[in-house]
Chain A
Amino acid sequence: MGFKEILSEKKPLIVEKWLDAILNNYPADASKFFKKQKDGFRNPVGYTISTSIKGLFDEIIEDPESEKIYPYLDDIMKIKAVQDFSPSKAVQFIYLLKKIIRIELDNEITQKNLSNDLKIFEDQLDKLALLAFDIYMLCRERIFEIRVKELKNMSYRLLKRANLVRELEEQESNFAAETVLTQNIKG
């Protein structure tokens, strides 16, 4: 049995331990709730993380380069990007899997001499962590874009009343004549 077959076989155990480790990174009360409440509408964080890591695990075994990985990572990182996590803590959940696999597959790796497979697999997880970090940054940028967009929406009609935006429309071709304010409004 190869490395990937062993991973597939041990999937339920590994994913369970992985989920447990991820949710343990929340304060005790939150962790308890995220683990216990199974209704995805009453517990979107626990549910999303649990379903996403299952999908993620399948895809990593199947094809770690697959595009199908992205939505799973995206769902998790979107949540982590708005919670009390530093960037390192936000992507750390990938490294938790490394640790779990080393412990759970320790015997098999030694007995069947799979250390090289483990190394390749861990390299893939490192890449995944980098991808997770990219997504985290995209989410953070998105939050700031949303903030800017909201401020623009709030002031747009008021600025229109003040003739600032109307002026902008008329002078659209004359960039040099725009004030700093109107350039900002235009974005």
Chain B
Amino acid sequence: MANPKPEELAKIDYQPPKTGWMDTPTVFKPGIFPYACKPKSLETVGFPNPRQWSVKDEDWKLPPNWQEIFIEGLRERVSKYRSFRLFLDICVRCGACADKCHFFIGGGDPKNMPVLRGELLRSVYRKYCTTTGRIMGKIAGARDLTTDVLKEIWYYAFQCTECRRCSLFCPYGIDTAEITILARELLNLLGLNIEWIAGPVANCWLTGNHLGLQPHTIKDAFDMFCDDIETITGIRVTPTFNRKGAEILFVIPSGSMFADPGTFTCMGELLLLHELGLDYTWSTFASEGGDFGFFTTNEMAKRLHAKIYEEAKRLKVKWIMGGECGHMWRVWHQYHNTWYGPVDFLEEPVSPITGTKFENAKSNKTIHICEFTADLIKHGKLNFDKSRNDNLIVTFHDSCNVSRGMGMFEEPRYIIQNVCNNFYEMPPQTIREQTFCCGSGAGLNASENMESRLRGGLPRANAVKYVAKKYGVNMLACICAIDRAALPPLMDYWVPGVRVTGVHEMVANALICKGEKKRTTNLRGEPLPGMEGE
């Protein structure tokens, strides 16, 4: 391109175009989209159209009959899922959801308004699945499925974290996240995934976890945790792996095994369960609570989820406990029973320490560790020295899937207030069911889309900034592995000085264990308050 002349430069118009959304072309901006999936990741799980491709290329190497595949896929899903058809049909474009998405709030791209994001697919649905759309075309809000339209759907399907904040405000109850879920499913029919999702899915299919950690690597990681715990507390924790006949199978997201600060949460869970003398086992096969298959297709989600129940069956445990994880709970609570029905080979979870029956888990026999720990505290089974966390001024981020998806609001707060002296809530319109997403969920926590993550995380960070300024908050607690991975960079950019922790890291720091030595540092190896000189 020739250098612009001065008079051309002087004619820069900063006003955005005033065209309708269908006539406003989508510009692919680096920093917003994640990298394309690799062929081997698709081949591993038998997904269609594995090939080397790049998002920046003009040619996405689609199959010759890609339109037919997409449209047939759409028709099939519309007839299979009544909810999907309803969500596509009944939206009156009232706009109640428009300003609820964190990507729109932080970035200002109108196609990130849930109503418009849904419209991207809805317009294709109208054209190929409704009579009015077929006849009236654009007047009825329908449009042809061209490669540009397909690319646009792709661009925005991977700018939605499926957090469901928009659905909370829809007067019709439309779950726009489900539209994204199915848009991604249709894109997967053409091999249009991102590597940050496809890679973990392939790893999980082969090894049981997203990171592709093999049994000896997991064991080695835990040995190191045990060494660290012993150095800090004087207690040798002795976890067991793949132990048949254990009462409980404990499953956590693999991110907590290898990425800080999640590792400290895992260490916290190890110490707590050891202190209780719980008859439980870890599994190197069911070594992933998360399910990135959930971000590809319904079938893939089911395939990856199955390993946990297969392992529970193989080990003959009575029930399952899950660690601090986000979408693991969405899958367990909202999809498991549809896939498998109530589990008949496990028992209704009963805490062996307090005798509490977790009736809420009657069907899938799985409880969240926060439910378990909150119950222990309620029954006075744990002794804490809260002052060990006195250097922390804590706020709590409700992870979308656990709060909006599962309805768990009180347990983590109850635990935090029992192990910390300084806890402050963020403003009510940013927490609990109205919580703002971290901006990186649903498989979008790749590094290459950092601008997108930072703008999507702005509403959350903005609320943290407020409590940091008002109360001096320096620690953001959460109970989701993606949060623990995604919130530190978010804080680094928007609210430097605020760190991120899992709840059970703080539990273990405050927990007074039998036979422990005088503790001078926390699980991170940092001096406890008042121990700086020791």
Contacts and interface: CB of A to CB of B under 8 A. Distances in A.
A132 to B, nearest CB: 15
Contacts of B15: 24-25
B258 A30 contact: no
Contacts of A25: 14-16
Contact of B492 (A37, A44, A146, A154): A146
A33 to B, nearest CB: 5
Task: With a 10 A CB-CB cut-off, give which of A25, A41, A43, A158 has the most chain B CB atoms.
Answer: A41
A153 interface: yes
A100 to B, nearest CB: 14
A150 B260 contact: no
A130 interface: no
B104 interface: yes
Given A27-B108, A27-B110, A150 B447 contact: yes
B451 interface: yes
B140 interface: no
Contact of A151 (B31, B447, B466): B447
B462 interface: yes
Interface stretch (B37-45, B130-138, B356-364, B452-460): B452-460
B108 A26 contact: yes
A29 B113 contact: yes
A156 B260 contact: yes
A118 to B, nearest CB: 21
Interface residues of B, number: 49
B107 A41 contact: no
A43 B463 CA distance: 11
A84 B110 contact: no
Contacts, number: 119
A141 to B, nearest CB: 11
B108 A43 contact: no
Interface in A15-39: 24-31, 33-34, 37, 39
Contacts of A24: 15
A173 interface: no
Contacts of B12: 88
Contacts of B24: 27
A82 interface: yes
A44 B263 contact: no
B431 to A, nearest CB: 10
Interface size class of A (residues with CB under 8 A): 35 or more
Contacts of A102: none
A152 B485 CA distance: 12
Contacts of A156: 260
B306 interface: no
Contacts of A154: 258-259, 485
A26 B459 CA distance: 18
A84 B107 contact: yes
B17 to A, nearest CB: 8
Interface in B256-277: 258-260, 263
Contacts of A31: 108
B109 A27 contact: yes
Contact of B429 (A28, A41, A151, A157): A41
Contacts of A92: 14
A87 interface: no
Contacts of B207: none
Given A37-B99, A42-B99, A161-B220, A82 B107 contact: yes
A41 B466 contact: yes
Contact of A42 (B221, B224, B429, B455): B429
5 contacts: A27-B108, A41-B429, A45-B458, A79-B106, A84-B109
Interface of B: 12, 14-16, 18, 24, 27, 29, 31, 98-99, 104-110, 113, 116, 211, 217, 220-221, 224, 258-260, 263, 427, 429-430, 447-448, 450-451, 454-455, 458-459, 462-463, 466, 485, 488-489, 492-494
Given A27-B109, A157-B260, 12 more contacts: A24-B15, A25-B14, A27-B108, A28-B110, A29-B98, A29-B116, A41-B459, A44-B106, A48-B462, A147-B448, A150-B485, A154-B258
Q: 7 closest pairs, A vs B, by CB?
A: A30-B108, A44-B462, A29-B110, A82-B454, A26-B108, A146-B489, A82-B455
